[in-house]
Copies of this chain bind each other. A is one copy, B any other.
């Protein structure tokens, strides 16, 4: 049987378990060009919240009754493909299910000798490539610059900050617990990290950035951006790859005044650059990013932390927690045992 988790109803604000529905169906025998997979590691990422809304975005929404979207690392258990044979490991956007039948074109082969399999959906997968592409194309870090990274212990943020260190930046993390902050400093080598829930967040971030902020990596929006905004230097670059603080918002909170003109005045006088991007538009750089990140991992310059959840059935709960910062490191669902371990 194939167990799959569907979108049952669209969430209003924070998702709850009722928004998801688990169903079982017969495994579908692959046709020519298809493979039957056993899912081993499934990725949970904040962007999935956007797919649950019926709103125009960069990708079409998941429809009610459709399987939830996700990237996953799987093993081929039956093949009608010339590209993949039984036993191969593959990565692709195969969704919240444990035995999907998938077209070969949607998969890429993963070499289990190169790195632990789970990294193919983490630091050597979508989040790692997001960090690489955004730093390389938009942030363009220069030695001695100050980089502030939000969601600093997350899958993207942790990699961004370490790339910043490789380029010689002063790297300041922002995270939601003291443990996460400590981790970015002691394990990842960040110069400092500030907890945004700290009542003295504003003062602490300012004193951690005595030369202002040259690059702000935007994963979150909200209070973190508000606090960074007055610290931005001339020629600051702001790659925007996520806004997790807004994803569960049912309305955009109105402050007492509209800061849009203020932002534009800063953009002009400081000659700033703000650039939204989605990694899926940059997969022509995927191989380059995986090569670079693999090398840095081998050299000990990039470390990664994974937060494993056991069992597909726990994915909805883990995903709800992810949107509240409950995970610590890249959130990965162990759907089936990893045969390489």
Contacts and interface: CB of A to CB of B under 8 A. Distances in A.
Contact of A267 (B56, B252, B274): B274
A264 interface: yes
B221 A243 contact: no
Given A254-B256, A258-B254, A276 B270 contact: yes
Contacts of A252: 257-259, 261-262, 265
Interface string A91-135: 000000000000000000000000000000000000000000000
A86 B197 CA distance: 68
Given A252-B261, A254-B256, A274 B271 contact: no
Contacts of A50: 269
B260 A263 contact: yes
A97 B57 CA distance: 55
B261 A258 contact: no
A257 B258 CA distance: 5
A253 interface: yes
A234 B59 CA distance: 11
Contacts of A273: 273-276
Given A243-B268, A271-B277, A258 B253 contact: yes
A199 interface: no
Contacts of A218: 264
B270 A58 contact: yes
A290 B16 CA distance: 61
Interface residues of A, number: 43
A89 to B, nearest CB: 31
Contacts of A257: 252, 254-255, 258
B281 A276 contact: no
A269 B56 CA distance: 9
Interface in A247-306: 249, 252-278, 281
A116 to B, nearest CB: 31
Contact of A264 (B225, B264, B265): B225
Contacts of A264: 218, 221, 225, 240, 243, 246
B253 A265 contact: no
Contacts of A271: 58, 275-278, 281
Interface of A: 50, 56-58, 218, 221-222, 225, 234, 240-243, 246, 249, 252-278, 281
Task: Please give me the 9 A-B residue pairs with the lowest Cβ-Cβ distance, nearest first.
Answer: A254-B257, A255-B258, A267-B276, A268-B276, A259-B260, A274-B274, A271-B276, A57-B269, A273-B275
